[in-house]
Amino acid sequence: MLTHTFKPDQPPPRTSVGIVAWLRANLFSGWFNTLLTLFALYLVWLLLPPLLNWAVLDADWQGSTRADCSGEGACWVFIKARFGQFMYGFYPPELRWRVDLTVLLAIVGAAPLFVRRMPRKAAYGLAFLLVYPLLAFWLLHGGLGLTPVPTSRWGGLMLTLVIAAVGIAGALPLGVLLALGRRSKMPAIKVLCVTFIEFWRGVPLITVLFMSSVMLPLFLPEQVTIDKLLRALIGVILFQSAYVAEVVRGGLQAIPKGQYEAAAAMGLGYWRTMGLVILPQAMKLVIPGLVNTFIALFKDTSLVIIIGLFDLLNSIKQATSDPAWLGMATEGYVFAALVFWIFCFGMSRYSQRLERRLDTGHKR
Amino acid sequence: MQNPANPPRAGSLLSDPKARAWLFQVIAVIAVVAFGWYLFQNTQHNLQQRGILSGFQFLSNSAGFGISQHLIDYAESDSYGRVFVIGLLNTLLVSVIGIVLATLLGFVLGIARLSPNWLVRKLATVYIETFRNIPPLLQIFFWYFAVLLPLPGPRQSLGLGDAFFLNNRGLYMPAPTLDGGFWPFLVAVVLALSAIGVLARAVRRRREATGQGFPLLLTALALLVLLPGLSVLLFGKPFVWSVPQLQGFNFRGGWVVIPELIALTLALTVYTAAFIAENVRAGIQAINHGQTEAARSLGLPPGKTLRLVIVPQALRVIIPPLTSQYLNLAKNSSLAAGIGYPDMVSLFAGTVLNQTGQAIEVIAITMSVYLAISISISILMNVYNKRVALIER
Amino acid sequence: MKMAKTTLAVLGTAVLLGASAMAQAGATLDSVKKKGYLQCGISDGLPGFSYADEKGNYLGIDVDVCRAVAAALFGDASKVKYSPLTAKERFTALQSGEVDVLSRNSTWTSSRDAAMGLNFVGVTYYDGQGFLVNKKLGVKSAKELDGATVCIQAGTTTELNLADYFRANGLKYTPITYDTSDESAKSLESGRCDVLTSDQSQLYAQRIKLAAPDEYVVLPEVISKEPLAPAVRQGDEEWFDIVRWSLFALINAEELGVTSKNVEETAKTTKNPDIGRLLGTEGEFGKDLKLPKDWVVQIVKQVGNYGEVFDRNVGAGSPLKIERGLNALWNKGGLQYAPPVR
């Protein structure tokens, strides 16, 4: 009788496990890939060491004046010295806690919205959206017991955030209305909305800002003056609402016809159908798209430099032409890029995660 | 027929959806018209009150200032109308170059993002995530103020041979000027091109009929070299090259690409390419993997699989978002104002507006031009989209 | 039903807006008084004329003109809000009513005065266009600038003068046009352009912003007349007079030897009828302008006289150290001359 005993498994060949195998599969499979890898390595070698040297190894971190810059690498002393101005603009230093508090409130207040299983999330969210802007305006602008700080002293990252936040908050309702109008069965409404949307999508934001900044007062009756920041915000909101409208329209189109018919069968009118049945579903679908629109808006805020508002980029640009800190343009721009990048990258990651999470729901 | 037991109530017209829709539309239109009229009246009143000229007569006035880059002839005594055309051409120039370069770079990056090569894939990802998350205006400033302006001055130019020079005044290169042999040369080129066209059609017909191939590329190259070459031998050189030479403050002669144009093009290309790459990746990933497997099992090498099977199908998915990237690029070219490139916004909505003070007219013209550019790009891309769209048979 | 209501609400709002607009129409003076502050358009950063220091306080000759108007109106020079404007925004901002006064080193020209709906009130600074070059180029005169690349600011009279000058002298040039003076300065420094052209006062101001000011010289040629003047909107004579006479008060005070230090004392003790009229102790000249009696006292006390303003901002007491030159008083060989108060 023969007994079969399995021999113990041979270990896989050295070439198909471990680091070598990985290298072979991912970097050196075939002559073309090898060539590509070598080329890519060359690129990395060309870019990375000088960049590291400049930004970290040879950089100056200590000190407080131009004299502390050795001139070999980046001089981050400049950023350190002007950090307050980059963050708050000309907001009075002794009142900057108000800005910090506003941001803190936003984070604390909005945090529950990101908890997945929060009860009464919608109600809370609505309340937050109603209360917070008033509170933020009061804190930032002052009045009612707080020292007023005119908007002309707002600046830096704070102004960038204000423009972006107000821009999206204002554009959202307008955009939803426009999207509904565009899908409306009434031809006149549809034409009006399409014209509005396509107009704002077709022109560059610079011209819009320029128009709202210097021409808006010509359209208004004499002596009606609107704050410069507010005018820029109006321009941003109108411009952005067109993009929001297009995103929301995508969501509306994704809702199956059965939902409309079911709502009609329940005897709901137009606004109730939209408000109770269609929009809640559609808005959930378009959240990632809205986040992307917001990212674009966030980057676009840098254009207010053209109309002389001191946002983050303009504050930095202004500081680089200070005689005491000449020649710091690269450091300044890199810092601005880093701040914008952190915000935009963070948001785009969030939007991607949402997209994956929501993917399982409706689309099939 | 109305039921007599149920007489119509006063509000019946309002509860009739059709009538209500009509009423609503009429009201909406009236509101919009009234609002427009209100703005118009205010503006009219304000302009009159403040003694501001209006109308478009200013377009024929003499401009009186210099422009650093003009594609058509321009002298200071020319009109604002001509300045407008120059601004428009400069905008179109940077948009077209940007679109072409961004598309090329975007496709390369998008494909690199899906490369089996780990390093290439990661590098492409880093590129995309870096550049699409930084505002384009900042990128323009960076290229201009931090990269191009610190280049050496004209006297210490970086040179390539004695023909190309790069310094902080721009990129100087030899420019062709016409010589005796130009016309025969032109005829030869046209002949070669039309011969290639005819040949290409014949080759395609034969391939469709018999399946036999033909080394078209080589033949075309040979034609393109031989015919014009013959003309040069027989009739002499078509061009004389005017080489840039250092003279006084600057280089004279040759072509110069000003640093403002380089910075703007670079920034727009780098920024938009990151978005295009993502569109390309999404488009390629949308193609069923079975297509790749089928192509590979037919014996097509990876390159050909990509070129002949995947990309043509992916184009259908890629083109709509690509269109909006092109639109964005054209609109972003207006950021030129930040670095003094004489585009539409900086030249016309900037200098001309300021010299004439006619803000409404100038901004209206500028906005219409951008609208027209946007609509043209949309139409062109839609036409192309129709051509590549899936034809169901 | 609801739709109709919404529309009605929209319409109603529009009507209300219109009605309130009619109620708000009125002269600039009334609106400024009602607001309680003066909205003043200044430049986006030009040392000596208008710029913000690190704390965001605005300083400069142009700023002081705004402060003088505020002092005359409210007796408080700090009741001014500033709108920094780029060269291209400035006239539209004034036309549209965004600012009440434009005090932004703007040249007084006929077309601006007539076609743009502006009125220039008087000259704050007599200037002329010049050239700033790097010493290394070895250029001694503007006539040697054939073929040069020239940096300028967009939408200024300098752009036109430059073209005229090079055309008249048969010279070639390449203009590089920037939006702000900072960009032009940066560009000159990097060597993108050989020469920077602007009003001479600005050249001095920009030179001190360069990393190595001593390496740059201002060429001797002055190629244009640039009378820099504050402007107001056309069609409001009352307001025009107030701004104009606030400026004249500065100049008259210097001529009569009234300074910020001695003004209160002088007002009490003066026997000179000219000074008495200026400082409001004789006659009711403030009332004609709808200003308080002591308007000039307030201006001089809080802002100083023209000489002090000049000295503090651009003259010997400032880093720019510009000579008075054309801007000396008429009786000291300059052009500054103000009609008398009487």
Indicate if the pLDDT at residue C53 is higher than 50.
yes
Please say if the pLDDT value at position B340 is more than 90: no
Are B125 and B179 in the same domain? no
Question: B236 and B275 share a domain?
Answer: no
Co-location of C233 and C317 in the same domain? yes
**Strand duo C231-233 + C129-134: pairing:** unpaired
Give the separation between CA C126 and CA C336, rounded to whole angstroms.
Answer: 8
- How far apart CA C57 and CA C59 sit, in angstroms, is 7
Q: Is A163 exposed, middle or buried (0-12, 13-18, 19+ CB in 10 A)?
A: buried
Structural domain contains residue C196: yes
As a whole number of angstroms, the distance between CA C117 and CA A222 comes to: 15
Report pLDDT digits (tens) over A281-290.
888 888 888 8
Asked if residue C52 has pLDDT above 70, the reply is yes
Averaged pLDDT, B101-114: 93
- Within a domain: C183: yes
CATH of the domain at C141: 3.40.190.10
Does residue B168 surpass a pLDDT of 90? no
Determine the pLDDT at residue B102: 96
DSSP state, C46? B
Region A173-193: what's the mean pLDDT? 90
Closest Cα partner for A24 from A12, A16, A36? A16
What is the distance between the alpha carbons of residues C80 and B390, in angstroms, rounded to a whole number? 66
Question: Which residues, in sequence order, are CB contacts of B144 under 8 Å at separation 6+?
Answer: B259, B260, B263, B264, B339
Whether B238 and B268 share a structural domain: no
- C112 interface with B at CB cutoff 8 Å: yes
Are both C118 and C165 inside the same structural domain?
no
Asked if residue B23 belongs to a domain, the reply is no
One domain for residues B230 and B268: no
B357–C112 CB contact, under 8 Å: yes
User: Between the ranges A2-16, A51-65, A103-117, B253-267, where is the mean pLDDT highest?
Assistant: B253-267
Please state the φ and ψ torsions of residue C150, each to the nearest 5 degrees. Answer: -120, 130
Most confident of A292-301, A353-362, B96-105, B357-366: B96-105
Give yes or no for residue A59 having a pLDDT over 70: yes
ipTM above 0.90, yes or no: no
Q: Is residue B256 part of a domain?
A: no
Q: DSSP 3-state assignment of B34?
A: helix
Confidence at B155, pLDDT banded by 50, 70, 90: confident
DSSP labels for B126-147? HHHHHHTTS-HHHHHHIIIIII
Of chain B, the percentage scoring pLDDT greater than 90 comes to 26
For helices B118-131 and A329-359, the axis angle rounded to 10 degrees is 110
Q: Where are the alpha helices (DSSP H) in C169-272?
A: 181-190, 200-207, 237-255, 263-269
Q: How far is C209 from chain A (nearest CA, A)?
A: 5
Q: How far away is chain B from the Cα of A191, in angstroms, using its nearest Cα?
A: 10
Using an 8 Å Cβ cutoff, are A244 and A221 in contact?
A: no
In terms of domains, do C187 and C136 share one? Answer: yes
Helix, strand, coil % in chain A, rounded to nearest 5: 75, 0, 20
Residues C257 and C181 reside in one and the same domain:
no
Q: What per-residue confidence (pLDDT) applies to C131?
A: 92
Q: In this structure, which amino acid lies at residue C268?
A: K
B276 and B235, same structural domain?
A: no
Instruction: Measure the CA–CA gap between A96 and A81, rounded to whole angstroms.
Output: 17
Nearest CA in chain A to B271: A299
Shortest CA gap C290–chain B (Å): 22
Residue of A44, A292, A275 whose CA lies nearest to A173: A275
For residues C32 and C121, state if they share a domain: yes
CB contacts of C96 in chain A (<8 Å) are: 214-218
Note whether residue B38 is domain-resident. Answer: no
Examine the pLDDT at A109 and tell me if it is beyond 90: no
Asked whether B240 and B177 are in contact (CB, 8 A), the reply is yes
Residue B129 and residue B115: Cα distance in Å, rounded? 17
CATH number (domain holding residue B300):
1.10.3720.10
C121 located within any domain: yes
CA pair distance A274, A313, nearest whole angstrom: 41
Nearest CB to C89 within list A90, A308, A323? A308
| More confident: A72 or B268 | B268
Enumerate domains of chain A plus CATH numbers: 81-356 (1.10.3720.10)
- Give yes or no: residues C111 and C259 share one domain: yes
What's the domain count of chain C? 2
Q: Same domain for C32 and C122?
A: yes
Q: How many beta carbons lie within 10 A of that of residue B23, not counting itself?
A: 16
In a domain, C338, yes or no: no
Is residue B280 located within the same domain as residue B378? yes
The answer to whether residues B98 and B343 touch, using CB atoms and an 8 Å cutoff, is: no
User: Alpha-carbon distance A331 to A58, whole Å?
Assistant: 13
Could you identify the residue written with the tokens 């919205």? A113
The predicted model gives B50-64 an average pLDDT of 80
Task: Let me know whether B109 and B179 are in one domain.
Answer: no
| Distance in angstroms (rounded) separating the CA atoms of residues C65 and C246 | 8
> Which of chain C's residues have a Cβ under 8 Å away from the Cβ of A225?
39, 97-98
> Residues C264, C154: one domain?
no
Query: B225 and B180 in one domain?
Result: yes
Token digits for B331?
């609109």
Task: Tell me the per-residue pLDDT of B180-222, one tens digit each, with 9 for 90 and over.
Answer: 777 888 888 898 889 888 988 888 888 888 877 777 788 888 8
Residue C9 counted as domain residue: no
Q: Confidence class of residue A53 from pLDDT cuts 50, 70 and 90?
A: confident
Please tell me the distance from the alpha carbon of residue B361 to that of residue B55, in angstroms, as a whole number. Answer: 7
Among C169, C201, C224, give the residue marking a domain's end.
C224
Work out how many domains chain B is built from and give that number: 2
Query: pLDDT at position B164, please?
Result: 81
Sheet holding C129-134, edge to edge: C173-178, C148-153, C195-199, C129-134, C216-218
Write the CB contacts of A131 (distance below 8 Å, at least 6 apart in sequence).
none
- Tell me if B287 is assigned to some domain: yes
Last residue of a domain, one of C224, C243, C268: C224
pLDDT at A333 over 50: yes
Shared domain check, C220 and C197: yes
Question: Would residue B35 count as lying in a domain?
Answer: no
| Per-residue pLDDT reduced to its tens digit, C118-162 | 899 999 999 999 999 988 888 888 888 888 889 988 767 788 888
C20: in domain = no
Record: contact C24-A223, CB cut-off 8 A: yes
Enumerate the H helices of chain B as residue ranges: 12-15, 17-49, 80-112, 118-131, 136-141, 182-210, 216-235, 259-286, 289-297, 302-304, 311-332, 353-356, 359-388
Query: What secondary structure does DSSP assign to B290-311, as a single string?
Result: HHHHHHHHTT--HHHIIIIIIH
pLDDT band at C102 (very low <50, low <70, confident <90, very high): very high
Say if residue C33 is in the same domain as residue C115.
yes
Q: Which residue of C has its CA nearest to B62?
A: C160
DSSP letters spanning B75-110: -TTSBHHHHHHHHHHHHHHHHHHHHHHHHHHHHHHH
Q: What is the DSSP string of A100-118?
A: HHHHHHHHHHHGGGGSTT-
Percentage of chain A with pLDDT > 90?
A: 19
Same-domain pairing of B289 and B376? yes
C-alpha distance from A350 to closest chain B C-alpha (Å): 14
- In 3D space, the residue among C70, C68, C202 whose CA is nearest the CA of residue C122 turns out to be C68
Q: Has residue C117 got a pLDDT over 60?
A: yes
Residues with Cβ within 8 Å of residue B233, at least 6 apart in sequence:
none
Range from A20-24, A51-55, B176-180, C183-187 carrying the lowest mean pLDDT = B176-180
Identify the closest residue of chain B to C177 by CA–CA distance: B340
Q: Residue A27 and residue B117: Cβ atoms within 8 Å?
A: yes
Asked whether the predicted pLDDT for residue C14 surpasses 60, the reply is: no
Planar angle of CA B226, B232, B234, nearest 5 degrees? 100
Task: Yes or no: say if A318 and A332 are a contact pair by the CB < 8 Å rule.
Answer: no
By C-alpha distance, the chain A residue nearest B328 is A204
Domain region containing C118? 27-126+228-323
Rounded to the nearest angstrom, the gap between the alpha carbon of residue B345 and the centroid of all alpha carbons in its chain is: 16
| pLDDT score recorded for residue B14 | 66
Q: B284 lies in a domain?
A: yes
CB B283 within 8 A of CB B314: yes
Same domain, C252 and C317: yes
What is the reported pLDDT for B12?
A: 62
- B27-46 pLDDT per residue, tens: 989 999 999 999 888 888 87
Q: Which chains reach chain A with 3 or more Cβ–Cβ distances below 8 angstroms?
A: B, C
- B4, pLDDT greater than 70: no
Find the domain containing B188 and state its range. Answer: 175-242
Q: How far is B76 from chain A (nearest CA, A)?
A: 26
* Partner A contacted by C234 (CB < 8 A): no
Domain co-membership, B236 together with B292: no
DSSP A55: I
How many A-B residue pairs are in contact by the CB < 8 A criterion? 141
Alpha-carbon distance of B359 to C17, in angstroms, equals 24
Q: Give the pLDDT confidence of C218-272 residue by residue, as tens digits.
A: 888 888 888 999 999 888 889 999 999 999 999 999 999 999 999 999 988 888 9
Question: Which residue in the block uniquely carries the two structure tokens 């208008």?
Answer: C50
Phi, psi of A362 (to 5 degrees): -95, -45
CA–CA dist A329, C14 (Å, integer): 48
Is residue B70 a part of any domain in this protein? no
What is the rounded distance in angstroms from the CA atom of residue B323 to the CA atom of residue C154?
A: 33
Mean pLDDT for chain A overall: 84
pLDDT at C23 over 60: no
Helices A156-182 and A121-141, packing angle to 10 deg: 140
Look at B225-239, B240-254, C130-144 and tell me which has the smallest mean pLDDT.
B240-254
Asked if B340 lies within 8 A of C154 by C-beta distance, the reply is yes
Distance of CA B154 to the CA centre of its chain: 30
| Mean pLDDT, residues A293-322 taken together | 86
pLDDT band at B64 (very low <50, low <70, confident <90, very high): confident
B313 & B379 share domain? yes
Residue C54 lies in a domain: yes
- DSSP secondary-structure letter at C66? H
Q: Name the burial class of residue B84, with classes exposed (0-12), middle (13-18) and buried (19+) by CB atoms within 10 angstroms of its CB.
A: buried
C247 and C101, same structural domain? yes
A172, A120 Cβ separation under 8 angstroms: no
Residue finishing a domain among C198, C224, C250: C224
Give every CB contact of residue A361 below 8 A, 6+ residues apart in sequence.
Answer: A284
Judged by a CB distance cut-off of 8 A, whether residue C44 touches chain A is yes
pLDDT, position B391: 65
Q: Categorize the per-residue pLDDT at C108 as very low, low, confident or very high, splitting at 50, 70 and 90.
A: very high
